[in-house]
Amino acid sequence: MKRQLHFPIRWAAAGLVACLFSGIFSGCSRSSAPLESISSPRGTNWITSLPFTIDEPGDFALASDLTGTPHASGIIIAASNVNLDLNGKTLSGAPRSTAGIMTRGSLTNITVRNGRIENWGHAAVEASFVSSSEFSGLTILSNALGLSVNVSNRISQCVSAYNGGIGISALQGSVVTECESIGNRAEGMTVGYGSVVANCLLSSNLFNGLFATHFGTVSNTIAVHNGFSGIVAGNSSSVTDCVASHNGRDGIEAGNGCTVSNSHAHSNLVHGVSVFGHSTVQNCQVTGNKRDGIRTGFNGRILHNHCMGNGSSGADTANIHLVLQRNRVEGNQIEINGEIGIRASHPQNQIIQNVVRRGERGGTAFECSPQTLDSVLNRPPAPGDPHTANYEF
C-alpha cells in the first residue's frame, strides 16, 4: 500500500522548499507488497477494473491499484448518495485518458476519500456539478488538472501537486482545510465567494498560491514561492494568522472592505500587504519586501504593525505607503535603513503615534504631501497633545 502524502502545515518559511520536495518524492515511492486480503464492510461494492460506472447510491471501494484506458474516465459517478473509498490504493491514468473520477449530472452527498489519483489526461476529480459533498485524504499528482468541485463542498487533508492546471478549485460556500497545493502550473487553489480556507500550504505554484473571491475567510495558511501573489482575497474578506513569503508579486493582496491581521509578509518581490479601500491591516509583521511593506488606497486603517526594511527597490516605495487619502496610520513600529518610513502621496491622512527608528544608513521617517506633513507631529508630544505624537530616532 502506498503512503499518503502529508506535510506539516506549520513549518517555518526558511528551508521550506527543501523539506517539501524531499517529502513529496519519499511519499510517491511505489510499494510492491501484494494485496493479501480484502476486509470490507457489509454492503461494499468492490471495484476491480476500469472504467467503472456508479449509477446507484451505495458504498464503493477499490480492491487494488487500477489503471485506466485511453479515451475514457476511470470511475464515473452518476448518482447521489455515493461513498467512494479508494482504500489507500491508486487510480492511474493511461495515455490519452480523461478524468480519474468524473461525475455526471447535478449530484449531492458524494464522498470520495483515502487514495491517490495520478497521471490522468484531464482532471484527477471532475465534480463541477456536485454540491454538499466531501473530498478527503486524497493525493493528486501529475494530472492535467487537480480537484475541481462545485458549491458548498468540503475538502480536507488533500495534497494536489505538479498538475498542469489549478491544484484545487471549489466554488462558493466551500470549506477547504488542511490541504497542500504544490508546484501546479496555474493557481495552487481557487475558491468562490463566501468560502473558508484554513490550515493550508500553497507553495511553488506558477500563478497565485490562493485566489479567494469575495466574502472569504483565510486563516493559518502559508503561501511561499508562488509565481504571482501568495494570497489574493476579494472584497469583504479576512486574512488572519497567515504567512506569505518569497512570492513573485505581493505577499497578501486584498480588495475593498478587507481585514488582514496577525500575519507575516516578508521577502516578496513587490508589496508585502496590499489592500484597496476601506480595509484594515493590523498587528502584522512586514519585512524585506522589495517595494511597499504595507500599501493602502483610501479610508484604510493601518494599526500596530511592525515594518522593517521594505522599499529597497527605489523610488516611490515605503514601509507604509498611503496611495490615496483619508487613511489612519496609528501605533506602528517602523525600522528603516536607507528606506522611507511612511509615505503619504495625498493629503487628508491621519498619522499618529508611530515610531520610526533609523539604522546605519539612515532614511526618511515621513515623506508626505504638505497638507499631510502639517498634521504629522514629528516630535515628542507637546503639552496638551500627548496622544498624537509620532517619534523618530
Taking only the tens place, the pLDDT of each residue in 89-142 is 999 999 999 999 999 999 999 999 999 999 999 999 999 999 999 999 999 999
**Cα–Cα dist 193/287, whole Å:** 30
Q: How many CB atoms lie within 10 A of CB 375?
A: 15
**Cα–Cα dist 307/132, whole Å:** 42
Q: Whole-model pTM?
A: 0.88
Please name the residues in contact with 27: beta carbons below 8 A apart, sequence gap of 6 or more. 3, 4, 5, 6, 139, 159
The three cell numbers of residue 235 are 472584497
**Cα–Cα dist 88/6, whole Å:** 13
Q: Which of 178-182, 212-216, 384-388 has the lowest mean pLDDT?
A: 384-388
Query: What are the residue boundaries of the structural domains of the chain, listed by start?
Result: 51-207, 229-393
pLDDT class of 25 with cuts at 50, 70, 90? very low
Supply φ then ψ for residue 20, to 5 degrees: -60, -50
Taking only the tens place, the pLDDT of each residue in 336-373 is 988 999 999 887 888 999 999 988 777 888 888 665 55
Taking only the tens place, the pLDDT of each residue in 57-70 is 999 999 999 999 99
Please name the residues in contact with 124: beta carbons below 8 A apart, sequence gap of 6 or more. 99, 100, 101, 117, 118, 138, 140, 143, 145, 146, 147, 160, 163
Indicate the burial class of 386 (C-beta count within 10 angstroms; 0-12, 13-18, 19 or more).
exposed
Which of the listed CATH numbers 2.160.20.10, 3.40.190.10, 3.30.1130.10, 3.40.50.2300 matches domain 229-393? 2.160.20.10
* Amino acid present at 247: N
Phi-psi region of 217 (alpha: psi -120 to 50; beta: other; left: phi over 0): beta
**Cα–Cα dist 205/179, whole Å:** 14
